[in-house]
Amino acid sequence: MAGRTTDYDEYVPLLAEYADLPEDDPRRDRVRERLVHGFLPVARNIARRFARRGEPTDDLEQVASLGLLHAIERFDPGRERDFLSYAVPTIMGEVRRHFRDSAWSVRTPRSVKDRYVAVGSATASMSQRLGRAPTAAELAEHLNMTRDEVAEAISAHGSYQPASLDESLGSGDDSALVDILGVVDGELDRVEIRSLVGSLVRDLPERERTMLALRFVHEKTQAEIAAVLCISQMHVSRLLSRTLAALRDQIERETTAEQLVAV
C-alpha cells in the first residue's frame, strides 16, 4: 500500500546503491554486508517456520541466509518495487531446496563430509564470537571456501546424518519425528501467491487498480464504486468480473509454469 513504512525502509537506498555498483567496486562488499545484516531477521523468521522438521535451526538459518544473499544479488530495483516481496519467496525456495536435497541418504564424497564438519565447527565458534549465526559469506571467508562449497556442506547434513522417522523428539516426549513430518504452514504458500497477485495487479490499468482497491481494500459497494469512477453500476460489475477472471487465469498459468519447472 502506498505510503506504508516498514522497519526496512532505511535499506531501500542501499539496495539501489548496491545494484548500481560495478562488480569490481570494492564498496560492494561493505554495502552487501550491511544489507545482509539488515534483512537477516527476515531470513531467521522464515527458517524458524520450518523448525521441528528434523533439521537443526542453525542449519536452517544458514540456508535461509544464503537465500537472502541470492535475493540481494539478483534484486533489480528498476523492475521490482518491493524487495521483501521478492526476497521472501527466494529465501523460502532455498530452504525448500535444502529439505529436498538433504532428505536423501546418499553416498557423500569425503571432501564434502570434511567441509560439513568444518562448517559446523566454524558456525559454533563464530556464533559465540559474533553473538549471532554467521552468514554464508562470513563462513566462506573464515574457512577459505567459496559460498557454493559452504552451501554444499550445509546441504550434506541430511545425507551425512539422516534422522530416523521413529526417533523421539526429546526425553520424556512420546512423539516421534514421523508424527510431525509433512505439516506445512499454509501461510507460506499464500505469501508467494500474494506476491504474485500484487505484481499482476500493479500491471493493470489505473482504472482497474482503483476499482479493485475500492472493492477489496475499502469494501465499497458496486454503486459506490460507480459513483467514484463516474460509470454505471452495470459497467462496474462487468469490469470486476472481467478483471478477476483475467487475474485468475494469469495466476493459474504462472503457478502451473512454476510447477512444471520444479518437476
Q: Compute the distance between CA of residue 120 and CA of residue 102 in angstroms, rounded to an integer.
A: 16
- Tally of CB atoms within 10 A around 41: 11
Q: Dig out the grid coordinates for 217 from the structure.
A: 481494500
pLDDT, residue 110, reads 59
Predicted local confidence at residue 184, as pLDDT:
47
Q: Count CA atoms closer than 13 A to 165's CA, side-chain side.
A: 6
Distance separating alpha carbons of residues 138 and 44, to the nearest angstrom? 16
> Would you tell me how many other CB atoms lie within 10 Å of the CB of residue 138?
18
Cα separations (Å) of 87 from 5, 68, 243?
17, 6, 27
pLDDT per residue, tens digit, the chain (263 aa), is 344 445 678 888 888 898 888 888 888 889 989 999 999 998 998 888 877 666 778 888 888 998 899 889 888 888 777 888 888 888 988 888 777 666 444 455 656 667 776 787 788 778 778 877 788 888 888 889 888 888 777 766 545 444 554 554 444 545 554 454 444 455 555 555 666 677 777 888 888 888 888 888 888 888 888 888 888 989 889 988 888 888 887 777 665 544 433 43
Provide the whole-model pTM.
0.41
β-partners of residue 176 are: 168
How many CB atoms within 10 Å of residue 135?
25
Instruction: Please spell the DSSP secondary structure of 136-149, one letter per residue.
Output: HHHHHHHHT--HHH
Query: Residue 214 has what DSSP assignment?
Result: I
Q: Give the residue carrying C-alpha cell 493459474.
A: 252
Please name the residue that has the C-alpha cell 510431525. Answer: 180
In the prediction, which pLDDT does 180 show? 46
